Amino acid sequence: MGFQIQTLPLVFLAWLFLIHHASSQRSTYIIHMDKSTMPKAYSSCHHWYSTTINSMRATNVKASDIHHYREAKLVHTYDNAFHGFTAVLSEDELESLRNSPGFISAHKDKPIVPDTTHTHKFLGLNTASGIWPESKYGEDVIIGVVDSGIWPESPSFRDEGLPRIPARWKGTCEAGQEFNSSHCNKKIIGARFFNKGDLAASPDVKISMNSTRDIYGHGTHVASIAAGSRVEGVSFFGYAPGTARGVAPRARLAIYKVLWDEGAYESDALAGIDQAVADGVNVLSISLSYLTIDLYENPIAIATFGAMEKGILVSVSAGNRGPNFATVLEGIPWAIIVASGTVDRWFSGELTLGNGVSITGWTMFPARATVRNLPLVYNETLSACNSTEVLREAPSDSIIICVESFETPELSDQITYVTESNIHAAVFVSDDTGVFRSTSFPLPGVVITPKEGKDVIRYASRSSQATATIQFQHTILGAKPRPAPAVSTSSSRGPARSYPGILKPDIMAPGVLILAAYNPNTALASIGSNIALSSDYNLESGTSMACPHISGVAALLKSAHPKWSPAAIRSAMMTTANSLDNTRKPIKDMGNDYDAATPLGMGAGQVDPNRALDPGLIYDATPQDYVNLVCALNYTREQTQAILRSSYNCSSPSTDLNYPAFVALYDPQETRTTKTQRFRRTVTNVGEGGATYKVKVKKPKDSVITVSPERLVFRKKNEKRSYALTIRYKTYEEYVINHGSITWIEQNGNHTVRSPIVVTPAEPSG
């Protein structure tokens, strides 16, 4: 009886709509239903929803009328994260549904596109739970960006919805060429520029843009990655379409321009960092690199020591000198040094052969091109694609196959030769991973692997009528064709030359083809040899892009934990970092034939912002701890003072910094032997109450690890406990890197606190 009571009104309403000849035009709607009202007569929600939709299809109407109503269709049903269904309905049918039992709400199903920079999704940031809502999206944390300035008109720097500028802010908006105070707002709260060092070096130079305005684009890109506002409908010429937003979208930006087209000098960088500290920034983002190795001469190291003393967290790019060993120059112990990794995003063109076989290749050709059913040509002589002259022999209306090998030019050169020829399109067969970091693709074409190339060459060689079609502007997300993240080939590797005894880089973040705001007047792509294209948003690669991701995460953590020190924030990121990729296997190294990455490439692993919000334990360090470290580095009094600046107490020098990683060094020039190194660490319980942790050891090869005690018991929050770690390890007469980890696992809890261990040569070969 209950079943009849529930369904009769729907049948009756459907009949009424037939009488009124409701419009047959339909849309897809997502319907939210109250599951608790489902009649007991139904075996499942799907049964309930399907019956509801079917009841709109009246059976007692004329055949001439019924075609208007049978189009109502159930599309999806939901019973886990969401209760309801999706259906194709007319407006009248929807109105009928609004009056049915259990209806809550409905809205049209709108098209969705992948999010960009996409990295916020890749890092697990979401509006429903975790660090974004807990930190209010970094609200009121001030990120100082020391770089090439900013393009203030970019939509990424709109300030809609932001509250007043924090009263503690001491900075200003400095007027200059094509830049005035109106260009600042509640997002860009400060803008200053520094070029006196540049002018001193070249007194006759004329600064082309003497203000904070960014005519290069690098600083704009970095700033929007860290704290850009939400902007819908952006892409790079159709690639990576979606919604752009920074890691900390409600944080404030203070811009310090120190890079100029006319030159860049250490003195200007020092001035910018110094002013940022005075202005009251909370986080400093420095995507700059200098060749100075010694800490006491490195301007970033010196300036950021003072920033650290003021409680400012400093994030610095590791540099792009990889993949060689010991290419990290700025191994600043008191800063977070950031490595660059890939994202689970692939920009592709679909190659379809005339025999129906489809291959997903790589392309960044910046347009939709008509490449349909063209002749596919393979010729051993032409396939080297080694000169424009040779390529003139190929049919101009064809798709030519170019094969990279030891005897041929590099892929980038092959692309150039084909671009300068009359060839319509090309298929490049190459295993050059460098192409995955570049946006330069000026002709219609795709890059496929040698394995895939064999099938394409076989087809083109055996068929006199071989043809192919290429479609462009595809964006693929997920683990295929390559797992992510992987350490970028170009990212600098440790150990740090300035001081190898502390693991650098500290951590890895997305840094390969990151979409973010840019100077819209800069040529970013090309078609052919003479057509330059610009865009409001650009895809860029490098540790410069990874660094502001960490700056943004630091801002989120600072907002959620305002009393945490820079060392505590760094520790939270490192001990919760992920050492596995999206296939749950160890992160790979692009620069080492996709073998497993070591901590010298990725630090503790890929940053995981949501886990960093609640790390369980932290390894904290005070300014005096860093003083003790500097005092132990065998510098002269003057060199030590260059870093520490003021009076300091060197009564307790120690290189055993309370740091969430362990580095054991050896000299490969010495005879093979066994060494022992001891470390002492203190961890602070930042969980909600008492907790017990037990250690799990994954020892490096040819090593023995001893941890004492093996159990840490905390009775309350903020309590400290210490432990000792001893590593006994074999050395080698060649360059061998072994690594492992220790993990403190909370018993009857959710926290795991992981620290990498690496056994490595101390100095680069040669």
CA gap 392, 505 in Å, rounded:
48
**DSSP string for 228-270:** PPPEEEEEETTEEEEEE--SSTTSEEEEEE--BTTB--HHHHH
d(CA 424, CA 501): 55
Can you give the three-state secondary structure of 477-534, one letter per residue?
Answer: ECCCCCCCCEECCCCCCCCCCCCCCCCCCCEEEECCCEEEECCCCCCCEEECCCEEEC
Helix (H/G/I), strand (E/B), else coil: 58: coil
Q: Say how far apart CA 363 and CA 471 lie, in whole Å.
A: 10
DSSP 606: B
Phi, psi of 90, deg, nearest 5: -85, 170
DSSP symbol at 165: P
Catalytic, out of 218, 561, 739, 751: 218
- Helical H runs in 99-205? 119-122, 131-135, 196-201
List, in sequence order, the alpha helices (H) in 618-666.
623-631, 637-644
What is the C-alpha to C-alpha distance for residues 576 and 614, in angstroms, rounded to an integer?
Answer: 9
Catalytic residue status for 593:
no
How many angstroms separate the CA atoms of 363 and 614, rounded?
40
Q: Please say whether the beta carbons of 734 and 640 come within 8 A.
A: no
Catalytic residue among 544, 551, 579, 755: 544
**SS3 of 612, please?**
helix
Give catalytic status of residue 589 as yes or no: no
Catalytic residue among 92, 140, 147, 198: 147
Give the angle 493-123-347 at the CA atoms, nearest 5°. 80
Indicate the angle between helix axes 543-560 and 566-575, nearest 10 degrees.
110
Active site residue 118: no
What is the rounded CA–CA span in Å between residue 570 and residue 558?
11
CA 385, 386, 390, 391 dihedral sign is: positive
User: What CA dihedral angle connects 259, 263, 267 and 268, to 10 degrees?
Assistant: -30
Q: Distance (Å, rounded) from C-alpha 14 to C-alpha 67?
A: 13
Element (H, E) at 52: helix 45-54
- Cβ atoms of residues 617 and 720 within 8 Å: no
Structure tokens at 698: 């994954």
> Quick count: other Cβ atoms within 10 Å of Cβ 85?
23
d(CA 490, CA 499): 21
d(CA 243, CA 158): 14
Q: Are strands 425-429 and 445-448 parallel, antiparallel or unpaired?
A: parallel
Estimate to the nearest angstrom the gap between the alpha carbon of 148 and the chain centroid: 21
Catalytic residues: 147, 218, 544
